[in-house]
Amino acid sequence: MTPSPRTPFDPHHAMMFIGGTPTDSAERHTVRNPFDGSLVGSVPVASSNGVRAAIDAAHRSLGVDFPLHARCALLEAIADLVEQDAESYARLIAQEGSKTIREARREPPRSATILRLCAEAGRRLTGETLPFDSRPGSENRIGYVSRFPAGVVAAIIPFNDPMALASHVIGPALAAGNALVLKPSMATPLVVLKLAAQIIDAGLPEGRLSVVTGHGSAIGDAMVSDPRVRVVTFTGGVSTGKAIASRADIKKVLMELGANTPVIVMEDADLDRAVPLIAAGAFAQAGENCLGVQRVLVHSAIYERFRARFVEHVTALKAGSSMDESTDVCAMISLQEAERVEEWIREAVLGGATLLCGGRRENAVVWPTVLENVPPGARLDCEEVYGPVVGLYRIGSLEEGISRANAVPYGLHAAIFTERLEDAFTAARRLEVGAVMVNDSTDYRLDVMPFGGTKLSGIGRMGVWSMLLELTEPKVVCFNLKDHLKAHPHLT
């Protein structure tokens, strides 16, 4: 690996950053638009040696003071730069990923907001005093608990929200005073490298941020197993999450591992609101969204009416190029993923499911698909499809809806559409998930929310404030006072 001079960001020969230094490699990876295969750019392919160099730099950087006011000022300055360059970021997101240009335009402002929220939250990361005299014999003691940086953080993020998810680890890690080694998806590395270039050029101290591009099979183990890494954050699939957990050894591990997201639609639901929100939750980002709607559990009293309106709405969605302003559903991230989803649809239909619309694939584009009567045990029924496919299910009661919603091994988000407050509270209490949305899509997320799930959906909580707490450690300080100070507490 040979460092090169710092230059303006060039997606066609992008550099990774080892300890803040732009770095190339002998092997490079091409990034292509999944819709038409056109070249978007290229990035270096790191080896485990590059990861170790990044961790070396991160570990060294922790010995150099980087005060809170400087960290927060930097995050706010980067947020300004992101907003100024928002259209450039959006076009890069749409070209390399699975978002339409209209969807991509929402991500840079969101990232800027996340960075500002992290700066604000960093200033509020305070401690508390402890009542040591609550125990007999400790009357002489006084003290407090404060929080200090966890140290070196390793983060692995997926392709579906590359800029926002990068901001969700960069912002809290830097605000809390840590050093971060980040691996983006090789499907969407360019926007993350562009963001890193702006952060480093804005004056981030050397070593505090490395972005290493490479294949997980080659560099993942070096990232998560190094004993100098104190926290690992990962967003991705369950099988990779299990592998990371087995290699991480004794360190904190935070994971968001996906879902099979249910929506319950009760007989009193407002369908004018429910239909478009559920469709948006199912088919945005070509369905490649861990919060995307996958199972819609509809009360039998309104099932036919909901089905007709939902299919009509979905059929009107336009599939096509991500750069076309009129496209609603663009190509999935790769041809292989589109072929996998097509196979899952075929399996369900052969098992007895009825195809209501969609089911068509052209290269990496899968048309928005709605099925009913998906057989129990089919992959579309019990696993995460991560594609533009929804199954409709008939239920006879709220009790049945909750039971079927909970019947999968995931528990990230769920939703219920109802006008009855009692039903909403019942669902909120009994659904086994990290968040319940009432009269809204499951893919709603506020970036200050504690974000995460139960069961196979993950460990820990992400989100601005939750990540700040996860990326710091509490430290107790206790003073054993002399008797004459105890007699004059005003002296303390």
> Considering only CA atoms, which of 183, 162, 434 is closest in space to residue 291?
434
Q: Is 390 within 8 Å of 296 (Cβ atoms)? A: yes
CA 111, chain centre distance (Å)? 12
Residues 274 and 383 occupy one common structural domain: yes
Residue type, 373: N
For residues 41 and 318, give the distance between their C-alpha atoms in angstroms, rounded to a whole number: 27
Domain membership flag for residue 378: yes
Residues 56 and 183 occupy one common structural domain: yes
SS3 content of the chain, % helix, strand, coil (to 5): 40, 25, 35
Domain membership flag for residue 153: yes
Residues 42 and 190 occupy one common structural domain: yes
**462-475 burial string, b = 16+ CB within 10 Å, else e?**
bbbbbbbbbbbbee
Residues 115 and 39 occupy one common structural domain: yes
Residues 278 and 409 occupy one common structural domain: yes
pLDDT of residue 483: 73
Residues 172 and 289 occupy one common structural domain: no
CATH classification at residue 351: 3.40.309.10
One-character DSSP codes across 337-389: HHHHHHHHHHHHHHTT-EEEE---EETTEE--EEEESPPTTSHHHHS---SSE
For residues 388 and 368, give the distance between their C-alpha atoms in angstroms, rounded to a whole number: 5
Domain membership flag for residue 450: no
Residues 153 and 272 occupy one common structural domain: no
pLDDT of residue 217: 87
pLDDT of residue 134: 95
Cα distances from 428 to residues 57, 136, 257, 263, in angstroms, run: 46, 43, 22, 12
> Considering only CA atoms, which of 289, 371, 276, 381 is closest in space to residue 330?
289
If residue 445 lies in a helix (H) or strand (E), which one and from where to where? none
Domain membership flag for residue 492: no
Residues 165 and 43 occupy one common structural domain: yes
Residues 55 and 148 occupy one common structural domain: yes
Cβ neighbors of 409 (< 8 A, separation 6 or more) are: 382, 455, 456
Q: In this structure, how many other beta carbons lie within 10 angstroms of the beta carbon of residue 355?
A: 16
Residues 133 and 147 occupy one common structural domain: yes
Radius of gyration of the chain (CA): 24
Domain membership flag for residue 444: no
* Long-range interactions of 120-123: CB distance < 8 A, separation 24+: 120/72, 121/172, 121/175, 121/464, 121/465, 121/468, 122/68, 122/71, 122/72, 122/75, 122/175, 122/176, 122/468, 123/68, 123/72
Report CA torsion sign: 431, 435, 440, 442: negative
Residues 204 and 335 occupy one common structural domain: no
pLDDT of residue 489: 59
Domain extent for 48 = 2-257+457-475
pLDDT of residue 150: 98
What are the 10-residue block averages of pLDDT along the chain, 492 residues in total? 60 96 96 97 97 98 97 97 97 98 98 98 95 94 96 97 97 98 98 97 96 94 96 96 94 96 98 98 96 98 98 98 97 98 98 97 98 96 97 98 98 98 98 98 95 96 96 97 66 50
CATH classification at residue 105: 3.40.605.10
Domain membership flag for residue 336: yes
- Checking DSSP bridges between strand 39-44 and strand 28-32, what pairing results, if any? antiparallel
Cβ neighbors of 38 (< 8 A, separation 6 or more) are: 32, 95
- Work out how many domains the chain is built from and give that number: 2
- pTM (predicted TM-score): 0.94
**Residue 186 corresponds to which tokens in the numbers above?**
């090789």
> Considering only CA atoms, which of 386, 312, 348, 338 is closest in space to residue 160?
386
Q: Is 15 within 8 Å of 24 (Cβ atoms)? A: yes
For residues 385 and 287, give the distance between their C-alpha atoms in angstroms, rounded to a whole number: 8
Q: In this structure, how many other beta carbons lie within 10 angstroms of the beta carbon of residue 141?
A: 16
Domain membership flag for residue 220: yes
Residues that are catalytic: 256, 290
One-character DSSP codes across 124-190: T---EEE-GGGSTT-TTEEEEEEEEE--EEEEE--SSSHHHHHHHHHHHHHHTT-EEEEE--SSS-H
Residues 298 and 340 occupy one common structural domain: yes
Domain membership flag for residue 171: yes
pLDDT of residue 178: 98
Helix or strand or coil: residue 473? strand
* CA torsion angle 7 188 257 150 (round to 10): 0
CA diameter of the chain: 84
